[in-house]
């Protein structure tokens, strides 16, 4: 299924709020119950500093406070040291668990770049 009718059914989901990421962390849980089909997930990562890389992926769980596991096909390209990256991946919500989070792993020291992850998804009934 594809994202359709962008004007009325598609909403923006904030998986990792835009902020300077200095250490490994995870965004807040987002409930996918009302969504269907593919969602486009966009990573916008600023250069993190000399030797710093960001590895960003999606994780999923049946419960908001439950145990999260990696989403199949939900990993972004790891940023090259001190290089910005904008990338889009698509995942299908129909085969995912109810809750999703974005997780970022910082390697090479203390990060100094802003990172955000947003998704565009269509609600089932909109």
Domain residues for 29?
Answer: 14-123
More confident residue, 123 or 2: 123
At 58-106, the pLDDT tens digits run 999 999 999 999 999 999 999 999 999 999 999 999 999 999 999 999 9
How far is the CA of 26 from the CAs of 57, 93, 123, in angstroms?
10, 20, 24
Q: Does a structural domain hold residue 27?
A: yes
Q: Does a structural domain hold residue 39?
A: yes
Instruction: Give the chain's domain count.
Output: 1
In the predicted structure, residue 126 carries a pLDDT above the cut 80: no
CATH number at residue 118: 2.60.120.1110
Q: Does a structural domain hold residue 45?
A: yes
In degrees to the nearest 10, what's the CA dihedral of 60, 86, 14, 11? -100
In the predicted structure, residue 7 carries a pLDDT above the cut 80: no
């Amino acid at each position: 299924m594809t994202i359709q009718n962008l004007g009325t059914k598609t909403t923006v989901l904030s998986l990792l709020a835009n902020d300077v990421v200095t250490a490994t962390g995870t965004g807040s849980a987002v409930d996918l119950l009302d969504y269907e089909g593919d969602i486009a997930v966009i990573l916008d990562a600023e250069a993190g500093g000399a030797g710093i890389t960001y590895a960003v992926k999606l994780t999923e769980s049946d419960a908001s406070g439950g145990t999260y596991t990696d989403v199949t096909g939900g990993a972004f390209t790891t940023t090259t040291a001190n290089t910005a990256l904008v990338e889009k991946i698509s995942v299908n919500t129909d085969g995912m668990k109810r809750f999703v989070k974005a997780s970022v792993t910082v390697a090479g020291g203390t990060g100094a770049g802003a990172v955000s992850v947003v998704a565009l998804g269509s609600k089932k009934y909109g």
